[in-house]
Amino acid sequence: MTLLKAESLSIQFGGLKAVDKVSLEIEKGQLFGLIGPNGAGKTTFFNLLTGVYKPTEGKLFFDGQEITNVPTVSRSHLGIRRTFQNIRLFKGLTVLENALIAFDQNMSYSLFDSFLKSSKFHLQEKEAYDKALKLLTLFKLDLNKNDKASDLSYGAQRKLEIIRTLMSDPQLILLDEPAAGMNHSETAQLMDLIKKVRDDFKLTILLIEHDMKLVMGLCEQIAVLDHGNKIAQGRPDEVSRDPQVIEAYLGPDLDSGVTT
């Protein structure tokens, strides 16, 4: 079953077609990778999916529902959550608070419930706390729950960002270059983590990355962008053998025998 479907999605900035008629279908439960060399339009495409940009052409469907014009805020309510390439945690707040905020859309008590400390207030706060603690424990961050988010190590901050996406039981999470700035062992840990998250939470994950190793080892389906166009899609082994992909990454094949 298709969860996310892009139909010839395009966006034009002045004379530049940053994303040109890209169509994609992501199946439920898939780990989908979107790769491409620098300037291929990955991040722009990502911003179209999250609603930061409005496409100039094309349509976007989520779970059978058109969401082309749904603003960013509401996409989270539909079950799409994202992380940021340059980690955006609430740095001055504690690890626990960071997780709790992400549960807010599941809470409904009013200002006056808060003032009166009604049973609804206690019930929902406890629910949020339990959920946050469960996730923090799962990711081994429970001992740091009262630390400031900015005091966490780089890898732990990434983890916390992923926890934040998971708090509201999303259907699809979009990871924007999760391995950016990580060393090899950290990247390897992250790969395990992403896989575990997908399996444990039965999620669909789209990740954008230019670390080929991460994507090849992790994703079941890969699409390759170059100059705003989708030039290939398929399983990792298919994609890595695709001559167009090789050309995009390594330049034109001048003397044969160049492989990745």
Partner 1 sequence: MKNFKLPLLTYIVLLVLGLILQFSFNAYIQILILQILMYSIASMSLNLVNGFTGQFSLGHAGFMAVGAYTSAFLSQTFPAFLETTHLFGFFIFSLIAGLIASFFGYLVGLPSLRLKGDYLAIVTLGFGEILRVFLLNIEPLGAARGISGIIPYPELGFLDRFWVSFAYVSFWFLVCLVFLWRITRGRYGRQFMSVREDEVAALSLGLSTTQIKVSSFVIASFFAGVAGSLYAHLISIITPTVFGFMMSVNIVVMVVLGGMGSFSGSIIAAAFMTVMPEVLRSLQSVTGIDLRMILFSLSLILIMIFKPHGLLGEHELPYFLKKMRRKKV
CB nearer partner 1, residue 159 or residue 164: 164
Residue 256: strand, helix, or coil: coil
CB 149 within 8 Å of CB 90 = yes
| Site for partner 1 contains 258 (CB under 8 A) | no
Q: Which of 69, 74, 137, 244 binds partner 1 (CB under 8 A)?
A: 74
Q: How far apart are the first and last CA of the chain?
A: 33
Cβ closest to partner 1, residue 91 vs residue 202? 91
Q: What backbone phi and psi angles, to 5 degrees, belong to 149?
A: -60, -35
Q: Say how many C-beta atoms besides its own lie within 10 A of residue 151's C-beta.
A: 12
Among 13, 16, 39, 104, binds partner 1 (CB under 8 A): 104
Q: What angle do helix axes 119-138 and 154-166 make, rounded to 10 degrees?
A: 130
Task: Establish if 208 lies at the interface with partner 1 (CB under 8 A).
Answer: no
* Pairing, β 221-226 against β 172-176: unpaired
Q: Interface with partner 1 by CB under 8 A: which range of 81-89, 132-140, 214-222, 225-233? A: 81-89
Interaction with partner 1 in 117-156: which residues (CB under 8 A)?
Answer: 117, 121, 124-125, 128
**Least distance in angstroms from the C-beta of 139 to partner 1:** 18
Does position 89 interact with partner 1 (CB under 8 A)? The reply is yes
Residues 200, 189 contacting (CB under 8 angstroms): no
By the rule CB under 8 A, 109 interacts with partner 1: yes
Number of residues that bind partner 1 (CB under 8 A): 35
User: For residue 116, what are its two tokens?
Assistant: 């009166």
Residue 102 beta carbon to partner 1: minimum distance, rounded to whole angstroms = 5
To partner 1, the closest distance from the beta carbon of 25 in angstroms equals 24
Handedness of CA 107, 108, 112, 113 (dihedral sign): negative
Task: Write out the H or E segment, with its range, that includes residue 61.
Answer: strand 57-62
Least distance in Å: CB of 170 to partner 1?
A: 10
Q: Quick one: tokens of 76? A: 């989270």
Regarding 88 and contact with partner 1 (CB under 8 A), the answer is: yes
Comparison of 74 and 153: residue with beta carbon closer to partner 1: 74
User: Cα–Cα distance between 8 and 153 in angstroms, integer?
Assistant: 40
Provide the binding-site residues for partner 1, judged by CB under 8 A: 50, 72-77, 81-82, 84, 88-93, 97, 100-102, 104-105, 107, 109, 111, 114-117, 121, 124-125, 128, 164, 168
